[in-house]
C-alpha cells in the first residue's frame, strides 16, 4: 500500500472516529437534562446521620443477590412474544370531574406505579410518569403501551407529589418539569431534591426524608419507610440517592406504598408503627429470577401487604412498560392466583379506573386477555435474606397454586 493510500485510510478512520465522538456528545447533550443532577458535596453533608449512608453510597441493610450483570441485562431485554401487548389494552379513560373534589379514600391507578391518591381530603400524586418513554431519550428506550388515561392538564390540584426513587420509570423529568408552576410540595428520599432543583423546582417546595422520618401535608402525615432496592439514572452516580416506601397516615385512613422493593424484614415494623392500613399499593411486576431481591413479585407482595397490616392490596408496577421478560399479563394473573391461595382480597382495576373505597363497592372483573403465563410453581421467585443464596425467605403457602388465564 502506498503512502498516499495509507494517508487516505488514516484520514478515513479519523473521520469515522470524529463522527462517533460527535454522535456520542450529541446523545449526551440530549440526555443531560433528563438525567438530572446528583447531590453535590454540600448536600451530602446532610447524609451522615443516615445509618445506611457509608460516606459514599446508600446501602441496603439486607444485601441483595443477582445473577451476573450480563445475564440480568439479557433477561430484562430478552424477547418474549407476549411481553408487549398485541392489541389495545382495555384501559378506562379517567373522568377528571370527580377528581376535582377531594375524597376520604379514593385511588386511581394510571399504569405501572403512577397513582393519584385522595386520603382524608389530601390529594397525593405518586411517581407520576406522563412521558412516552422511561429513558433519558424520548426516541429510544421502553415505550408506554397506551396514552395516559388522564391528560396532564386534567390532573386535579394536588397537595403533594411523592417520589419513591430516581429510576426513570418513577422519576420522569418531562413530567416534573411541567410542574414548575404548580403549587404542590414534593416529598422525596434523601438526595432526590438535587434532580428536582436542576429541573426548575423551587427548593422551598422540596422535602427530603430518610427512612423513619416524616412530614405533614395538611392533615396527612407522610412517613418514609425502608425499601430494598437501589437508585441511579444510568450514570456514575448510582446509589448516591436514597430509595423509599411510604406510610400515609391520615386522621381516619391509612395507605402503604411499597415503592420498588424486594422482600425485607422491616414490613412487620412498618405495620406496627403505622398500621393497620386500609390499602397497600405494592409492586408485583418487572421481576426475574435473575434479580429476586430487587423486585418482590406477586406472591411475596401479598405476604408483605399482610405483614404491614393492610386490609386489601392493589398490585402496581405492571401493565405499562416492558422492563422484564415475563408475559405482560403474568403479574396480574399471578396476583389473582396468590390472592386466592393466601385468602387475601385484592383491588385490581384496569388502568384509569377510579375506585372510591369509602363510598362505592369494588368488584373485580378480569380486563386483560388470556395469554400463556408461568405459574409460581413453574417460575418461583424466592428472595434471599442477606444476599446469600443459601439463606432464603420461605415460599408463601399455596405459591404453587395453578394460575389460570
Phi, psi of 109 (to 5 degrees): -100, 130
Largest CA distance in the chain: 86
Nearest-CA neighbor of 319 among 88, 117, 76, 80? 88
> Cell numbers of 400, please?
404453587
Q: Where are the domains of the chain?
A: 3-35, 69-356
Q: Is 178 left (phi over 0), alpha (psi -120 to 50) or beta?
A: alpha
Q: pLDDT digit string (tens) for 67-111?
A: 866 666 666 666 789 999 999 999 999 999 999 998 999 999 999
Verdict on whether the full-model pTM lies above 0.75 = yes
Per-residue pLDDT 10s for the chain (405 aa) are 565 655 654 554 554 444 443 333 333 443 447 888 888 888 888 898 899 999 999 999 999 999 866 666 666 666 789 999 999 999 999 999 999 998 999 999 999 999 999 999 999 999 999 999 999 988 889 999 999 999 999 999 999 999 999 999 999 999 999 999 999 999 999 999 999 999 999 999 999 999 999 999 999 999 999 999 999 987 677 999 999 999 999 999 999 999 999 999 999 999 999 999 999 999 999 999 999 999 999 999 999 999 999 999 999 999 999 999 999 999 999 999 999 999 999 999 999 999 999 988 899 999 999 999 999 999 999 999 999 999 999 988 774 444 444
280-293 pLDDT, tens digit per residue, is 999 999 999 999 99
7 burial class (0-12, 13-18, 19+ CB within 10 angstroms)? exposed
Q: Which CATH class is domain 69-356?
A: alpha beta
Amino acid at each position: 500500500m502506498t503512502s498516499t493510500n495509507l494517508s487516505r485510510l488514516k484520514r478515513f478512520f479519523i473521520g469515522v472516529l470524529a463522527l462517533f465522538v460527535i454522535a456520542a456528545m450529541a446523545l449526551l447533550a440530549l440526555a443531560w437534562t433528563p438525567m438530572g443532577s446528583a447531590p453535590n458535596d454540600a448536600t451530602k453533608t446532610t447524609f451522615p446521620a443516615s445509618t445506611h449512608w457509608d460516606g459514599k453510597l446508600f446501602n441496603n441493610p439486607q444485601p441483595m443477590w443477582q445473577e451476573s450483570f450480563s445475564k440480568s441485562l439479557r433477561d430484562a431485554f430478552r424477547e418474549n412474544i407476549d411481553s408487549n401487548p398485541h392489541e389495545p389494552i382495555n384501559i378506562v379513560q379517567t373522568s377528571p370531574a370527580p377528581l376535582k373534589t377531594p375524597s376520604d379514600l379514593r385511588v386511581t391507578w394510571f399504569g405501572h406505579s403512577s397513582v393519584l391518591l385522595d386520603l382524608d381530603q389530601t390529594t397525593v400524586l405518586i411517581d407520576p410518569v406522563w412521558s412516552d418513554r422511561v429513558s433519558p431519550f424520548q426516541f429510544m428506550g421502553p415505550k408506554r403501551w397506551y396514552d395516559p388515561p388522564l391528560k396532564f392538564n386534567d390532573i386535579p390540584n394536588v397537595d403533594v407529589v411523592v417520589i419513591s426513587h430516581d429510576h426513570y420509570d418513577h422519576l420522569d423529568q418531562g413530567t416534573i418539569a411541567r410542574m414548575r408552576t404548580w403549587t404542590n410540595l414534593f416529598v422525596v428520599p434523601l438526595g432526590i431534591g438535587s434532580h428536582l432543583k436542576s429541573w426548575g423546582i423551587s427548593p422551598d417546595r422540596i422535602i427530603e426524608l430518610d427512612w423513619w422520618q416524616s412530614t405533614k401535608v395538611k392533615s396527612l402525615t407522610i412517613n418514609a419507610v425502608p425499601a430494598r432496592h437501589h437508585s441511579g439514572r444510568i450514570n456514575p452516580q448510582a446509589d448516591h440517592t436514597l430509595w423509599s416506601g411510604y406510610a400515609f397516615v391520615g386522621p381516619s385512613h391509612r395507605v402503604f406504598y411499597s415503592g420498588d422493593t424486594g422482600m425485607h424484614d422491616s414490613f412487620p415494623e412498618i405495620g406496627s408503627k403505622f398500621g393497620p392500613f386500609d390499602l397497600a399499593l405494592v409492586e408485583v411486576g418487572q421481576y426475574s429470577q435473575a434479580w429476586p431481591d430487587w423486585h418482590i413479585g406477586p406472591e411475596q407482595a401479598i405476604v408483605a401487604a399482610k405483614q404491614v397490616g393492610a386490609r386489601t392490596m392493589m398490585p402496581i408496577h405492571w401493565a405499562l412498560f416492558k422492563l422484564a421478560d415475563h408475559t405482560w399479563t403474568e403479574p396480574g394473573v399471578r396476583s389473582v392466583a396468590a390472592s386466592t391461595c393466601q385468602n387475601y382480597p385484592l383491588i385490581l382495576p384496569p388502568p384509569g379506573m377510579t375506585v372510591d373505597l369509602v363510598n362505592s363497592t369494588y368488584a373485580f372483573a378480569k380486563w386483560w386477555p388470556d395469554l400463556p403465563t408461568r405459574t409460581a410453581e413453574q417460575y418461583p421467585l424466592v428472595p434471599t435474606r442477606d444476599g446469600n443464596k443459601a439463606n432464603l425467605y420461605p415460599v408463601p403457602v399455596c405459591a404453587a397454586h395453578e394460575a389460570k388465564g
